[in-house]
Amino acid sequence: MKRLTTLSVVVATLVLGGCSSSSSTSASTSGSTELTVFAASSLTAAFNQIGSDFESANPGTTVTFNYGSSTDLATQIGSEGTADVFASASGTAMDTVAKDPGVTDRTDFATNQLVIITPTDDPAGVSTLQDLTKPGVQVVLGAAAVPVGDYARQMLDENKLTDEVMPNVVSNEADDASVVAKVNSGEADAAIVYASDVASNTDVRAVPIPTNQNVVATYPIAVVTGSSIATVAKSFVTHVTGSQGEATLQQFGFGPPPTG
Amino acid sequence: MYRRVPLSFVVLGAIGAAFVALPVLGLALRAPWGRIVEMLSGPGARTALRLSLEVSLLATVCSVVFGVPLAWILARGTFRGRALLRALVILPLVLPPVVAGVGLLQALGRRGIVGSWLERFAGVQLTFTTAGAVVAATFVSIPLVVLSAEAGFRSLDPRFERAAAVLGAKPGYTLRRVILPMVAPQLVAGAVLAWARALGEFGATITFAGNLEGRTQTVPLAVFQTLQTDQEGAIALSLVLVVLSICVLVALRDRITGIQDRATGTG
């Protein structure tokens, strides 16, 4: 009986201790600050770099990233509200967060275009957008509502290729990174992903899509309303939109933010 | 006999029970009850439900066809490495499903050890196909058949086999007509558990077979994708799996835990 009581005290301490420590990190103004950034999975490589740059410029601050489909992340922010900064691959997902719980300092900070990727040995012979219509080409897209999937569908629509390409689609993946993985492993013959995905990936072959056939993805970033460290969040946004952030983004294959 | 439970146990036990019950309660409370029938009979949901049924039943058949003989070998065979073989067969039960999917890709994918061979000589591709979803579901559910069937075989009195042999029955006949009928309850329990596991399979399926409506998008994958745009729709689909899971538990009751409830049991 005595030991059981001890056990329950230990458990209670752990539970309560867990609560108090997490609330103290988010409320602390000095010492270590933990900034939580929710970002589109296409930003993974670039933001990992930007994150460590930001950490070395701001000693005591740790940046934690949660990457995923922007649409998913927007839903998570709405229901959980744990993000300080949201960087989205689409304006639509940002609009969702802007409605609930709200955002400040919203800025478009980068653009991206689409490319076709194939395995390095290109088993299906894909060298143009039209080649995706060839019978038997196994094409992977992002799912509808996942930004990379929506942009790809929009592009196919604008090129009047939807009816011919859709029958070749063998999988609708949950996020951009999963789309790339399906071609990386050689399972799919081709996929439509962001140009930034292939800037640092030598495991796949990139087929550029001419600008007149392409669409431009615009990436907004903002401080999420309710962040307990809004000042730090704002300085992260400033860092991303500043010259150093922009240079890093371009190094990882992103285009400059839209003008005007 | 009523025995006092220490207060600390009551508190911790209550937290434990609430922890398990709350998510289920959450689904039930947030479910769009008014429109649930309409939502589940929509074309997207219907396709996913039908495909899930098809995939999980086929996976159960495969698990039984390959798992029962394996269980028999493990129960009756005397050979070196039997314990190792058993551990290997049970591995999918504890393996993270996404790892199972990556492993399946290396083995049966288009560039996999066996998969590349399958494609070249038989023209068979498993990834992105319903067959691939069945493979993924079978991989995770076969251990449940093996475990349950082996326990059944081991609990049999070997004298029945000897008696059958003395009466002139050949081993195959004895197995079919004497042994399998006697372990039928364990086989059924194993098959039902395997079916439930196959029905809920997500990670190995999306990694190995992909996600395409009508071909590989089973209910768990549909839940995951629907959640992006339509939380109520995702909850409605989730509830189907909750209800089916509860049905499995009710059907098997004591057989899963091996515990007889004193209040209702006879032993």
> In whole angstroms, what is the distance from residue A226 CA to residue A192 CA?
36
Q: Which of B6, B211, B227 is the closest to A4 by Cβ?
A: B6
Residues B203-228 have a mean pLDDT of 94
Backbone angles phi, psi at B135, to 5 degrees: -60, -45
**Partner B contacted by A3 (CB < 8 A):** no
Calculate the dihedral angle through the C-alpha atoms of A201, A207, A211, A213, rounding to the nearest 10 degrees.
-130
Is the confidence at residue B264, as pLDDT, over 60? no
Q: Are A125 and A131 in contact (CB under 8 A)?
A: yes
**How far is C-alpha B185 from the chain's CA centre?**
16
Tokens 């036990």 belong to: B13
**Partner A contacted by B48 (CB < 8 A):** no
Is the confidence at residue B220, as pLDDT, over 60? yes
How do strand A85-87 and strand A216-224 relate by DSSP bridges? antiparallel
Residue B175 is given by DSSP the state: I
**Partner B contacted by A106 (CB < 8 A):** no
Is the confidence at residue B41, as pLDDT, over 70? yes
B225 chain-A contacts, CB cut-off 8 A:
143, 145, 172, 174
Amino acid identity at A55: E
* Encoded tokens for A152: 């790809």
Please name the residues in contact with A213: beta carbons below 8 A apart, sequence gap of 6 or more: A129, A155, A158, A159
**Partner B contacted by A172 (CB < 8 A):** yes
* Encoded tokens for A106: 């919203």
> For position B228, what pLDDT does the model report?
78
Query: What is the largest distance, in Å, between two alpha-carbon atoms of chain B?
Result: 69
Number of C-beta neighbours around residue A45 at 10 A: 17
**Partner A contacted by B118 (CB < 8 A):** no
Interchain pair B227, A72: CB under 8 A: yes
Which residues 4-43 on chain B approach chain A with CB closer than 8 angstroms?
A: 6, 8-9, 11-12
Angle at B226 between CA B41 and CA A108, to 5 degrees: 145
Interchain pair A187, B6: CB under 8 A: no
Q: Which residue of A has its CA nearest to B226?
A: A145
Residues B227-243 have a mean pLDDT of 90
> In whole angstroms, what is the distance from residue A57 CA to residue B116 CA?
50
**How far is C-alpha B13 from the chain's CA centre?**
28
**Partner B contacted by A189 (CB < 8 A):** no
Residue pLDDT tens, chain A, 260 long: 444 444 444 444 444 444 433 333 334 445 689 999 999 999 999 999 999 999 999 999 999 999 998 998 998 898 877 899 999 999 999 999 999 899 999 999 999 999 999 999 999 999 999 999 999 999 999 999 888 999 999 999 999 999 999 999 999 999 888 999 999 999 999 999 999 988 878 899 999 999 999 999 999 999 999 999 999 999 999 999 999 999 999 999 999 998 75
Q: Are A119 and A181 in contact (CB under 8 A)?
A: no
Tokens 């030991």 belong to: A3
pLDDT digits (tens, 9 = 90+) for B70-105: 999 999 888 999 999 999 999 999 999 999 999 999
> For position A258, what pLDDT does the model report?
86
> For position A14, what pLDDT does the model report?
44
pLDDT digits (tens, 9 = 90+) for B111-126: 999 999 999 999 999 9
Q: Closest Cα partner for B258 from B200, B186, B181?
A: B186
Number of C-beta neighbours around residue A68 at 10 A: 21
- Rounded to a whole number, what is the distance in Å from the CA of A151 to chain B's nearest CA? 16
HEC secondary structure over A177-207 = HHHHHHHHCCCCCEEEEEHHHHHCCCCEEEE
A69 chain-B contacts, CB cut-off 8 A:
228
Q: H or E stretch including A224?
A: strand A216-224
- Report in angstroms the alpha-carbon separations of B83 from B66, B80, B92, B93: 18, 8, 16, 16
Please name the residues in contact with B170: beta carbons below 8 A apart, sequence gap of 6 or more: none
**How far is C-alpha A248 from the chain's CA centre?**
16
Q: H or E stretch including B166?
A: helix B158-166
Q: Which of A5, A173, A178 is the closest to B8 by Cβ?
A: A5
> For position A16, what pLDDT does the model report?
43
Residues B29-54 have a mean pLDDT of 91
Q: Which of A8, A172, A185 is the closest to B212 by Cβ?
A: A172
Q: Closest Cα partner for B148 from B112, B200, B192?
A: B192
> For position A78, what pLDDT does the model report?
84
